[in-house]
Structure 1
């Protein structure tokens, strides 16, 4: 193909983006507008005008696509196409031209999202108050009122702030690692929305919130990934075949996750017989069918085009642009669910416990009944199961992988599932002592088991060297400056202790975290991630650049552990009940002595570290002996090579000293 012909096949992506935004806005606005009359009448709110009734859902539709575009753009630069690299190490690797274009696209999308987030503040006030948008938009007092009294306004302010931070980072990003950080940041942007809305209220809201998180993250990866990949194909970017292969696997997982989480989210709020009786159910059916059909079409499309991409690069974009527009329509339809009144609740007589926790408890936790009480936890437990399956898949690709490492990893994953899905997880929000038990398991038990599974070493053995694949990503992470800083013993110990102390010293923070399901999600994540880095530095078999000797690590363990155990003593002596108002609001039928339960929790914090510390001390001692034996063997080898020259010189020195005396 001549250069002129190649240039004719290159097309800009912005018309596709613009068309997708228009489709999402029109679908969202039109569908919501058709339901507006009934919704406002049911709520007794005056009609604020078409600028709000059409504009609010339309902007939400555009906002969803901007979120997806930002995530997909950073996904493309981080994992779908490689950066510039001169060796098998991505640390310091700069972005290619296509990586820069994707990053700049993500920056523009994030900046646009930040602006929409700010505009949504007066829009949601207009929506809930019935005041025309022109009345509240230009009044500072109205903005202040919205942020003080309207939860959705606060949510969109957080979205705007997070998106602005991502945008600033993306405009200055030039390296591969920045894409990984920005990808994580773009997913964090959606969390304020994922943790609010219909799913975060009423009965079973733990199921609703966790399933919505899966749903929205999968949507970002699926829709955003295709938008970014289509743009890459339009500009005839390199590595299209490899990127399409990877995206196809991500898309398949995302479609399954969206369908499964959507079903769960619907079943906890809508009776099957009500689906066709209410607008909410009709929209839900159309959306679900659209996701499944589009997923099948996309899979067939990529299955047919991937084999011919090398010889015919334009094959992918023929149908991909149509997929993007259909996705935009489904996204626009989906945002109307947040404004469409759902059918009557499955249980209209919710107890205080159901309102606060999502479910009822009838008896306190005992040493035996925790194994008979089960409520599947849909976030971290599912992640643990997926990690276990992936680990077992990798072990099949590695000959001679130690069974002990597999056992440790599976034990860690199983511990997460049992802890969060059994009676322990169910009673965690209702009891301080159980909360502390779960905290100790997740921060000191699970991480110990997982690090001994050596997952990064397994990844390094399971994939070929010299390619842009998970092996290169894992080994680059092990050599990164970030990991050196986080696993530096003083830093590792401080990060492990600081959240523990902040959570239980600053009582208002504890009360805030336990009173919302979002708080429990954040706490559980921090417990495990913080503990993993701490114990990885201490005993993890995975390689860490510049790691200190086992003797030094053992000394740091002796130094840091008393600070951790001291918190238990502090809690046992504390005379103020932490979270008293929240625990009283649950109206538990067994009427616990809250101060006694809290002191029991302090005792658990003080004593529960003994079991994992036995493993940690044992592993550190074993590594110390191994290092000592290696050092002795090196000394012996050197002595043999030099014929004990140093020993001979030492004896000669002693003899000379003796003769002089």
Structure 2
């Protein structure tokens, strides 16, 4: 994994700079800084393999986060070599040149890596694989369906942020809305069904000595903390999930966030986090600090469906652009009718938003029936146990009567 990161980074730097004098510019200095920090990470990793020094581990994690941040900065700026022209206005705003008109192949196959999100996805994927391997080495099994579900979620997030869809989402509202729906409604369902918290509880070590909680104890404590109980309240999750739609798209916030990379990054992370929280409460199979009845979950789903429909209709009916002038600045040569593009995006958002909620509704009904069946079986077992004890009691009485 480290070799792949080094190779891809070196190839990217060579492709951009080659033999230019930009190696001695601030851009080249950032590359040199990234190389030095990565070398430090490799040395620390080698030390960690020889021992279990927690302090070094914290330093390594901090350095990896720093590398990811530097990579994100390098990804957003294009060096001005002697053979290239200065970046145009579109590149300054979006970090990438204006793409050609969208086609199915371009949306499916184009790739413009967002270094920070890509690094984060690689990191959590490595953690998940490490957890599965740890469980397997212990002789336990982890359902393959959960691993596949996690892989699908990561692939969808990567496509919606760094793939062709993520690229065109910066230039067109309808593709932005497709990416929004994938990040907040489709990928989170697969993520919660991959049961990452359950995997962590099974794979993380307990305390080494008596009284030490260990990493597993920290996860358990976090699950039962007051913030977790607050955030996992169904009303709180619903307000974050659907209320943020109105706060984002019916205020100047959308245009402001789209106009810079950090804002766009923050918006994407919010979409993922809001969807994860909502579907974790509705269809999640991980431990939950709150016991939420299935009927409450169904009511919340119907409420989310209604609010989302109202939002989509309001956006489709709008006669003004909501981008605060962002798409006008891009002056794209294709799909020039910005209002029509916005209305198509609203219609796509409505359609794509309702389908996952309906799927979640069906899944909630199935979970409810399975829960009732398990409860009925437990009740039957208790009845059988009680009956056996009662028969044993009667037999004991009969034996005493015979002895008399």
When normalised by structure 2's length, the TM-score is 0.78
Correspondence for 1:274: 21
Partner residue in 1 for 2:87: 350
Report which stretch shifted further, 582-591 or 592-601: 582-591
Equivalents in 2 of 1:392, 1:285: separation in Å? 29
Name 2:247's counterpart in structure 1: 502
Q: Which has the larger radius of gyration?
A: 1
Greater displacement, 613-622 / 280-289 = 280-289
Cα distance in structure 1, aligned partners of 2:340 and 2:158:
28
SS at match of 1:363: coil
Give the drift of 1:486. 0.8
Q: For residues 623 and 589 of structure 1, do their structure 2 counterparts lie closer, same or farther at Cα, with a shift above 3 Å needed?
A: same
CA shift in 2, pair 1:264/1:495, >3 Å = farther
Say yes or no: does 1:443 pair with 2:184.
yes
Q: Deviations over 1:585-627 (max 9, x none)?
A: 2121225211101111111121112332243123211210112
Counterpart contact for 2:321–2:339, Cα < 8 Å: yes
What's the secondary structure of 1:557's corresponding residue? Answer: helix
**Which residue of the partner structure matches residue 351 of structure 2?**
607
Q: Distance in 2 between matches of 1:266 and 1:475?
A: 43
* 1:547, distance to aligned residue in structure 2 (A): 1.8
Cα distance, 1:301 vs structure 2 = 6.0
1:425 touches 1:438 (CA, 8 Å); kept in 2?
Answer: yes
Q: Is 2:197 the partner of 1:456?
A: yes
Output the CA distance in 2 between the equivalents of 1:595 and 1:357. 20
The verdict on how the C-alpha distance between 1:586 and 1:346 changes in structure 2, with shifts beyond 3 A counting, is farther
Report if the CA contact (8 A) 1:415-1:446 is conserved.
Answer: yes
Deviations 1:429-476 (A, max 9, x none): 111111111111100011111000001101111134345443223222
Contact 2:305/2:354 (<8 A) preserved: no
Q: Which runs of 5+ in 2 are unaligned?
A: 64-69, 389-404
Question: Residue by residue, what CA displacement relative to the aligned partner does 1:55-87 show, whole Å, maximum 9, x if unpaired?
Answer: xxxxxxxxxxxxxxxxxxxxxxxxxxxxxxxxx
Cα distance in 1 between the residues matched to 2:36 and 2:117: 28
Task: Tell which has more relative contact order, 1 or 2 (C-alpha 8 A, sep 6+).
Answer: 2
Q: 1:475 aligns with which of 220, 226, 243?
A: 220
2:322 aligns to what? 578
Which of 480, 490, 497 lines up with 2:235 in the alignment? 490
Deviation at 1:643, TM superposition (A): 4.8
CA distance in 1, matches of 2:115, 2:100: 23
Please give the alpha-carbon distance, in whole angstroms, between the structure 2 residues aligned to 1:285 and 1:639.
Answer: 70
Structure 2 partner of 1:397: 134
**Structure 1, residues 171-205: CA drift from partner, whole Å, max 9, x if none?**
xxxxxxxxxxxxxxxxxxxxxxxxxxxxxxxxxxx
1:423 is matched with 164
- Spell out the pairing of 1:229-248 with structure 2 (5 A cutoff): none
Does the 8 Å CA contact 1:269/1:346 hold for their aligned counterparts? Answer: no
Matches within 5 A, 1:83-162: none
Per-residue deviation, 1:543: 0.6
Alignment map for 1:26-105 (pairs within 5 Å): none
Structure-2 separation of matches of 1:289 and 1:417:
25
Corresponding residue of 2:120: 383
State the distance in 2 between where 1:628 and 1:380 align.
Answer: 41
Question: 1:638 deviation in Å?
Answer: 4.1
Q: Deviations over 1:153-187 (max 9, x none)?
A: xxxxxxxxxxxxxxxxxxxxxxxxxxxxxxxxxxx
Cα separation, partners in 2 of 1:260 and 1:522, compared to 1, 3 Å: farther
**1:345-382: per-residue Cα shift (whole Å, max 9, x none)?**
76324333222212223433244431132222322233
Give the counterpart of 1:619 among 346, 359, 363. 363
Cα distance change, pair 442–264 in 1 and its aligned pair in 2 (3 A): farther
Structure 1: how far apart are the matches of 2:296 and 2:349?
Answer: 26
